[in-house]
Structure formats: structure tokens, C-alpha cells
Structure 1
């Protein structure tokens, strides 16, 4: 009996239309994601702008003791 009540309520609710065409909703979503991608892309490389310069000859902070795993590229292009 509850299924019948749900069907009756769904019939009485009527059909509601979207305020804009469905295709326009998709276009607006793509534009929104493209805008967010642009915002994200604008921050590329900021770590290298504001990071302290690497220390030469000493251990890297946070690295395990006994290793010197500093930045090798671009100073030493042969290391990948």
C-alpha cells in the first residue's frame, strides 16, 4: 500500500521544468571547471618562487641522517 501512496504523491506533484535548458547547464558547468582550472594553473611554480634556496654541502632538512638528497636537477642535468 505504501508504494501506491508514493505513486499517487508523485502524480500529484506535477512536472517541474528547469529554469534554463539542460545544454546550457552543461556549458555553464564546463565553463566553471575551466575557470577553476585557470585559477589552479595560475599557482604553478609558486613553491619554487618562495621556497628557501637549497643548502649546498649540508644535509637536507627532514632527510634521514647520512644522506644528502638535495635537488640534483638543474644543477646536475645527468641525474634524473
Structure 2
């Protein structure tokens, strides 16, 4: 018996998955959809506090993200 066949014979093991393979994809899809929903739910948070941002910008002499240097 050659070395390659001896190694390949020892490393081939059939492992039964705990759930059907398609369910891994379904679980991933549900997780990504949940993450997308959380991201979507925060889509307009900055605009809800626009008055605070404008007041901060006026108090500090400029708009957000600009440099006065």
C-alpha cells in the first residue's frame, strides 16, 4: 500500500450533520435579515435630533465635520 492511499484512507471520515445542509443557509438568511432590520430601524435617527445638531454647530462656530483651522 502506498503512502498516499494509507493517508487518504485514514483521513476520510463521514460525519453526519446535526441538521440538513439547507438549514444552514436558512439560518444565515434569518440572521442577515435580522441584522438588516436593525440597521433599517435606525435609518433616520440623525434627522430626529437635527435641532440639537444645529444648536451644537452654532455654539461651536461651524457645521459638523468641518474644521476651523
Q: How many residues are treated as equivalent by the alignment?
A: 60
Uncovered stretches (5+) of structure 2, i.e. residues with no partner: none
TM-score when scaled to structure 2? Answer: 0.62
Q: Which residues in structure 2 correspond to 1:9-24 (within 5 Å)?
A: 9-11=10-12, 14-24=13-23
Deviation at 1:32, TM superposition (A): 1.1
Moved more, 43-52 or 16-25: 43-52
TM-score when scaled to structure 1? Answer: 0.55
Give the aligned CA root-mean-square deviation in angstroms: 2.4
Q: Which residues in structure 2 correspond to 1:40-79 (within 5 Å)?
A: 40-50=39-49, 51-53=52-54, 55=58, 59-63=62-66
* Equivalent position of 1:32 in the other structure: 31
Deviation at 1:48, TM superposition (A): 1.7
Deviation at 1:23, TM superposition (A): 1.2
Structure holding more helix per residue = 2
Distance in 1 (CA, whole Å) between partners of 2:5 and 2:24 is 34
Uncovered stretches (5+) of structure 1, i.e. residues with no partner: 66-80
Moved more, 45-54 or 27-36: 45-54
